[in-house]
Amino acid sequence: MAHDHVSNTKRIWFVFGLLSVITTVEVILGIIKPASLEFNHFLSLNLLNWIFYILTLVKAYYIVWAFMHMEGEKSALRWSVVLPVVFLVLYLLFILLTEGHYVYGVFKNSTIKWNF
Amino acid sequence: MDTTVTTANNDEKIWGGGNEPLAASYGKMMMWFFIVSDALTFSGFLAAYGFSRFKFIETWPIADEVFTHFPFLHGSPQPMLYVALMTFILIFSSVTMVLAVDAGHQMKKTKVAVYMLLTIIGGLIFVGSQAWEWKNFIKGEFGAIETKGGSILQFVDKEGHQVALADFAIKHEGGREALKGNAATWFLTDADALPAYSVEDVMAGFEAHPDLLVRTEQLTDKKKKTILSREESVQRLADAKYVVEGANLKRNEYGNKLFADFFFFITGFHGFHVISGIIINIIIFFNVLLGTYEKRRSYEMVEKVGLYWHFVDLVWVFVFTVFYLV
C-alpha cells in the first residue's frame, strides 16, 4: 500500500492551526491595510497584495499536501495533477491580465469611453 | 471494472485492470483528474474576473465597502469579519473531513460517522452564511443613481459617510406604480420591482439638502472613491437615469455591474459545489452507517469524497483572496 495506516491526527491539527493563523493574519492585514505595504510596489504589485497571494499559495499547498494527502502519493501522480494546473493557470493569467490592462489603456487614452 | 477498491489479490491480473501504475485506485485517480478539470474551470472564472478588474482598474468597487454586514451588529460596518468567519467554518469542516478519512484508515466506524456528520453540518452552515451574504448584497444598503453612461453616483455627507436614499429623498405623489399582471394588461408587466424612489424624488431630496455631495466610482491615488464638490455633483446628477437599490445581474448600487455579475457567478458556482459536496457527503454518511465500507474492509470511498470536499475548501481560499482581500 502507498500509505501507512497510522493515525495522522497530530499533523491534521497542526495544519488546521497553521491555516487558522494564516487566515487571521490575512484578515487583520485586510482590515488595517498598512499604508507602508499598500502604497509600495514590487514588480507593479503592491506589497500587501504580494503578501495576500503568497499566504494564499501557502494555504493551498497545505490543503493539497496535507488534507488531500498529496504528500503520500507517488510523485508521478502528484506532478501529473499539479503541473498542468500551475502551468495553465499562469498562462491564462498572463494572457487575460495583459489583455485587460491593454483594454484599460485603450479606454483611458483614446476617445472611446465606457462609463462616463 | 475496478471502480471501487477491492481486497481481492490483484497480482495475477496485471492485464485485467488490476494494475495500479500510480499506486492509486481507479476511482481515486479519476477524482484527481476531475479536480484538475474543475480547478481549471474555476481558474478561468477567476482569471476572467481579473481581466474585467484590470480593464476597470480605476473604478472597481472596494470590497471592504460592499461586504460590511455581520449578524447582530446592524448599523456598524464590519468589513472582512463575516467572510473570515465563513472561511473558518469551511476550513474546520475540512479538518473534520480529514479526521473522518483518518478514522477510516483505522476502520473505526463510529468515529468516521461522527466526523462525517460534523462535516455535513459545517457545509450546511457555510451555505447558509453564503445565502445571508447574498441577501445583503442583493438588498443593498444605501441606494445610488445610475447615469445615462452607466456610471454609479452615490451620496455622501460632509464627512464623507454614505447616506441612504431613504434619508433624504422626497417622495412625490403620483409616481408610477409597478405594473402587475392583474391590472388589465397581463402581457405587460414590469420584469423588475420598481425602486422605492424615482429619479425625481432623489433629485428633489438632493436639492433640499445642500450638505449632500456625490461620490463617483473613480478611485483616487489613496485608493478611496472620489467625492465631488457641490457644483460638480449637481452637474453629474443632470445625467441621472435610474435609481439603483441593491445589486442584481443588471444593476449594482456598489459600482461596476461586472463586479456583481462575477460575484454572483463565481460564489454561486462555488456554493453549488458546496451543495453537491454536502449531498455526496450525506450519501457516504449513510453508507458508513449501513456498514457498506465495513463489509468492503476499506473506507476509501470516504477518502474520495474527502478529496472533493477539500477541493471545495481550496477554491474558497482563492475566492476569498480575490474577492475580499486584494
Superfamily of domain B20-140+259-325: Cytochrome c oxidase, subunit III, four-helix bundle (1.20.120.80)
- A84 plus A68 within the same structural domain: no
CB-based contact B47 A92, cutoff 8 Å: yes
CA torsion sign, A62 to A66 to A72 to A78? negative
Is pTM beyond 0.95? Reply is no
CA of B55 to nearest chain A CA: how many angstroms apart?
Answer: 4
Q: What is the pLDDT of residues A62-108, one digit of tens each?
A: 999 999 999 888 999 999 999 999 999 999 999 999 999 999 998 88
Q: Is the pLDDT of residue A28 over 50?
A: yes
Regarding whether A80 and A59 lie in a shared domain, the answer is no
The answer, yes or no, to whether residue B3 has pLDDT greater than 80, is: no
Nearest CA in chain A to B88: A20
From A53, A76, A85, residue closest to B22, measured CB to CB: A76
A50 & A4 share domain: yes
Residue B307 has pLDDT above 50, yes or no: yes
- Give the nearest partner residue to B314 out of A5, A64, A104, using CB atoms: A64
Q: What is the dihedral of CA B303, B275, B29, A59, to 10 degrees?
A: -80
Secondary structure letter of residue B165 according to DSSP: G
| Residue A97 and residue A60 share a domain | no
Confidence of residue B222 (pLDDT cuts 50, 70, 90): confident
Are A69 and A83 within one domain? no
pLDDT given at position B72: 83
Clarify whether residues A10 and A66 are in a common domain: yes
Using an 8 Å Cβ cutoff, are B321 and A57 in contact? Answer: no
**B36–A67 CB contact, under 8 Å:** no
Same domain, A52 and A69: yes
- The pLDDT of residue A2: 44
| pLDDT, tens only, B191-216 | 666 788 888 899 999 999 999 999 99
pLDDT of residue A5: 53
Using a CB-CB distance cutoff of 8 angstroms, which residues of chain B are in contact with residue A107?
A: 55
Interface touch B217/A115, C-beta < 8 Å: yes
Q: Do B47 and A59 touch (CB under 8 A)?
A: no
Residues of B within 8 A of A45 (CB-CB) are none
Are A30 and B324 a contacting pair at CB < 8 A?
yes
pLDDT at B141 over 60: yes
Full domain range(s) for residue A62 = 1-73
The interface pTM score, or ipTM, of the predicted complex is: 0.91
Find the DSSP H helices in chain A. Answer: 9-32, 35-38, 47-62, 75-109
Domain extents in chain B: 20-140+259-325, 144-245
Antiparallel, parallel or unpaired: β B240-244 and B225-227: unpaired
**Same domain, yes or no, for A59 and A92?**
no
Does residue A82 share a domain with residue A58?
no
Residues of chain A with C-beta less than 8 angstroms from the C-beta of B36: 81, 84-85
Q: CB–CB of A63 and B317 under 8 A?
A: yes
Structure confidence at residue B12 as a pLDDT band (50, 70, 90): low
Confidence tier at B190 by pLDDT (50, 70, 90): low
* Nine-digit cell string for A99: 489583455
- In chain A, the number of structural domains is 2
Check whether B134 has a pLDDT greater than 90.
yes
Q: Greater confidence, B300 or B177?
A: B300
User: Do residues B280 and B312 touch, judged by C-beta distance below 8 A?
Assistant: no
- Residues in chain B within 8 Å Cβ distance of A38: 223
- Shared domain check, A65 and A86: no
Which range (A26-30, B65-69, B145-149, B322-326) has the least confidence?
B65-69
Enumerate the β-bridge partners of residue B146.
B152, B242
SS3 at position B66? helix
Cell numbers found for residue A57: 499559495
Give one DSSP letter per residue of B257-310, joined into a string. HHHHHHIIIIIHHHHHHHHHHHHHHHHHHHHHHHTHHHHHT--HHHHHHHHHHH
The answer on A56 and A1 residing in a single domain is: yes
Question: Same domain, yes or no, for A48 and A10?
Answer: yes
